Structure 1
Amino acid sequence: MTPTTPATPIRIAALLAAAALLSSCTRAEGDLESATDQAPPSPSPSAEAKEPYTIAVGGDVHFEGVLRDRLEKDPATAMGPIADVLSEADLALVNLETAVTGGGTPAPGKEFRFRAPDTAFDALEGAGVDVASLANNHGMDYGREGLADTLDAADRAGFPLVGAGRDAEAAYAPHLAEAGGDTVAFLGAADVMDEHLIGPWTAGEDRPGLASAKYGAADRLVSAVEDAAERADAVIVNLHWGLEGDHCPLPHAPDLAERLIGAGADAVVGGHAHVLSPGGYLGGGYVHYGLGNFVFYSHAGPTAESGVLTLTLEDGEVTGDEWTPARLEGGVPIPATGEEAERAAADWESLRETCSTGLSAEPEA
């Protein structure tokens, strides 16, 4: 047998280097093919373009008197033709100024108490309303039992309420909705309550009730707006405020509006006075001091003047507004047309100067 010649260290090193180079090239080609076959990464949600969207806001709603007949006949059409205006918006908000209960204990010392059956939520949904505030001076007209009934009925209907809850955390919590690529937070609070009911009606840590903006409770509302602004792109606050029969806001209202806008609210809207009040832009947000009666049995003279405020928002900012004037007939708002609509809109616009609110007709640059 002929003996083999042993490989030298130099030859072994060369062979190993060549094998390593070949393996490296093969892996690189394979990696390139795998990378080429992969789909390009999809853009993150935050990179998606935002689109303009609209929020329609109506005033005070209950279903007493002539409205109870409408509700019993057909809840889906109980709010009348104004439903077309509400439904055209991406989101719609009203103030539900009634307890939804058949029981409870009547609140003491009140001249007027409102309540409605569960079908009230069918009426709101049928009219295109997406969320309602219960924070007002009639939300607990039938006490804590009536409030519990109201919250239970809303839960069964799957209808969002703000401004009330089984404790303070729930009462001041926002309802979150999506529109135009934005997350929109809705909150409600009452700046009007009978003095002897402020304590019993205001939600506490372990007490059901309403979100309040009265006295020191305003600080809690400001904090709630700050928290909502961290979770949402836009914040809308429905505030029950004003003096009955007076078109102009109470002296403290502009300061409260500025605090809420400074805390992150993009719009502060509401009512209570039963008449229309001015609206406009203030400090980078939109403020409306009184939307008047909306679906309400009281309708004569100024208390019959109503309408829908439609705000346009984009990327978390209010960029435009539109006022659709209406007049109550049979308890429901009938949109005005033609010269009547032009005259009613001009009358509403003039309230900004009449009340000297510092509101402007156009958003700040």
Structure 2
Amino acid sequence: MTIALAGDVHFEGALRGRLEAPATALARLTSTLAAADVAVVNLETSVGSGGRPDPTKRFAFQAPPSTFAALRAAGVDVATMANNHALDFGREPLPATFAAMDRAATQDPPLAVVGLGRDVADAFAPAVVDVGGTLVSTIGATVADQDPTADRTGQWAATPDSPGTADAIADPERLLRAVRSADRSTDVVVVYLHWGIQGERCPSDDQRRLARSLVDAGADVVAGSHTHGLQGDGRLDGPRGQGYVAYGLGNYAWYTPTELTGVLTLSVQPAAERDSRARVTDAAWSPASIGADGLPVPLRGAAEQDARDEIASLRGCAGFSD
């Protein structure tokens, strides 16, 4: 089976007008994402209407509920909203957000949203996709503790009594428990994190420590974004075999041109036995660059080879040799 991973998506700037026709808003992305059995992106915006932009933030993003229809039409199966923009307009829009999430989850094809919930248990709950009898769990969480767009951190974390994001900044134990639980009940576990330091091409020590803890807990794939640029990807040894970590997936559908982005598609062999783990047998990048319209354009020829060389060069400082 295959899992496609892409980075940050929103509908600001040149992308906003595309939501007038959500069924074709992201049509250029469909071939790569829909070709995978499971496609996962980071939805870096609040969704809904109303509320007020957070006065402490330099950038506040909000998109209408048709955002979910656009992602569904593009072939996205799971979107995480555990990030520093999911509540840019506060909690007031959340009832409509949750209603739109519920509708998206029951439509054909369905879209599951993780990392944002009516309470903390809901926020950390995985999306489970059945791929021909193989159950794939995806968990979303935010662990980024350096947000240059805001003066406060963690203010929108879900609690037992209030809605918000799946926040593991202060304590990753709830996240690790969610991974262990998913590992017991499903065949493949994907964790998509909002983490790292913006602008850094190499993962931080905190990222590397947490990645190892997640693989040890049973995560088969660990991926993330927030740095707005690619970081290295590769295999990481764990107690029951290797997990695959992609530290930074960068921007993907974004309002500023980006020289290098892409989709990482992993071929995964599910575990043959419960006490073993799923194995990533192949990892393939589809390099692209983001143009003036906010959408990625596949790279070809020499530009594609240059992109692959650059992606490979990022593995060294991420601690990967292959």
2:49 to 85, 98, 102: 102
Q: Distance in 2 between matches of 1:322 and 1:147?
A: 37
Gaps of 5+ in 1: 1-52
Q: Which has the higher helix share?
A: 1
Tell me what 1:289 maps to: 247
Greater strand content? 2
**C-alpha distance after superposition, 1:15-74 (max 9, x if no partner):** xxxxxxxxxxxxxxxxxxxxxxxxxxxxxxxxxxxxxx00101100000110011222x2
The 8 Å contact of residues 154 and 167 in structure 2, kept in 1 or not, is answered as: no
CA contact (8 A) 2:57 2:151 kept: no
Mapped partners of 2:53, 2:155: distance in 1:
13
Contact 1:165–1:210 (Cα < 8 Å) also in 2: yes
- Residue 127 (structure 1) aligned with residue 74 (structure 2): yes
1:300-311 superposed matches below 5 A: 303-311=258-266
The structure 2 residue matched to 1:223, chosen from 152, 174, 177, is 177
User: What residue in structure 2 maps to residue 189 of structure 1?
Assistant: 141
Contact 1:238-1:269 within 8 A present in 2 as well: yes
Q: Structure 1's 183 and 109: CA in aligned 2 closer, same or farther, altered over 3 A?
A: same
Q: Which residue of 2 aligns with 1:242?
A: 196
CA contact (8 A) 1:180 1:314 kept: no
Alignment check: 8 A CA contact 2:288 2:299 kept: yes
TM-align CA RMSD: 1.4
Residue of structure 2 in register with 1:77 after alignment:
24
Q: Distance in 2 between matches of 1:326 and 1:180?
A: 30
- What residue in structure 1 maps to residue 39 of structure 2? 92
Q: Deviations over 1:287-332 (max 9, x none)?
A: 1111111010011xxx331100001111232221111100001100
Q: 1:324 to 1:199 in 2, by over 3 A?
A: closer
Matched residue type, 2:262: G
What secondary structure, in the 3-state scheme, does the structure 2 residue paired with 1:237 have?
strand
- The amino acid that maps onto 1:241 is W
After TM superposition, give the deviation of residue 360 of structure 1 in Å.
3.5
Q: Does residue 67 in structure 1 map to residue 67 in structure 2?
A: no
Tell me the SS of whatever aligns to 1:145.
coil
* Larger radius of gyration between Structure 1 and Structure 2: 1
Pick from 264, 278, 295 the counterpart of residue 232 of structure 2.
Answer: 278
Instruction: Tell me what 2:118 maps to.
Output: 166
Distance in structure 1 (CA, Å) of the matches to 2:203 and 2:26: 27
Identity value in percent? 47
Secondary structure of residue in 2 paired with 1:202: coil
Alignment of 1:211 onto 2:159: no
What is the aligned partner in structure 2 of residue 323 from structure 1?
285
The letter of the residue matching 1:264 is G
Residue of structure 1 equivalent to 2:320: 359
Q: TM-score, normalised by structure 2?
A: 0.90
Secondary structure at the counterpart of residue 297 of structure 2: strand
Q: Do 1:82 and 1:335's aligned partners in 2 also have CA atoms closer than 8 Å?
A: no
Residue 178 (structure 1) aligns with: 130
For residues 183 and 59 of structure 1, what CA distance do their matches in structure 2 show?
A: 23
Count of residues in Structure 1 that have an aligned counterpart in Structure 2: 302
Contact 1:80 1:333 in 2 (8 A): no
Aligned to 1:335: 298
Match of 2:274 in 1: none
Query: Residue in 2 aligned with 1:198?
Result: 153
Q: Deviations over 1:153-197 (max 9, x none)?
A: 111222311011000110011011112531110000011255754
One-letter amino acid of the counterpart of residue 132, structure 1 = A
Secondary structure in 2 matching 1:59: strand
Where structure 2 has 5 or more consecutive residues not aligned to the other structure, the ranges are 106-110, 271-277
Measure, in 2, the Cα distance between the counterparts of 1:288 and 1:164. Answer: 22
3-state SS in 2 of match to 1:281: strand
Distance 1:199 1:116 in 2: 22
Paired residue type of 2:192: N
The DSSP-based 3-state class of the residue aligned with 1:143 is coil
Mapped partners of 1:304, 1:139: distance in 2: 25
**Aligned partner of 2:227: which letter?**
A
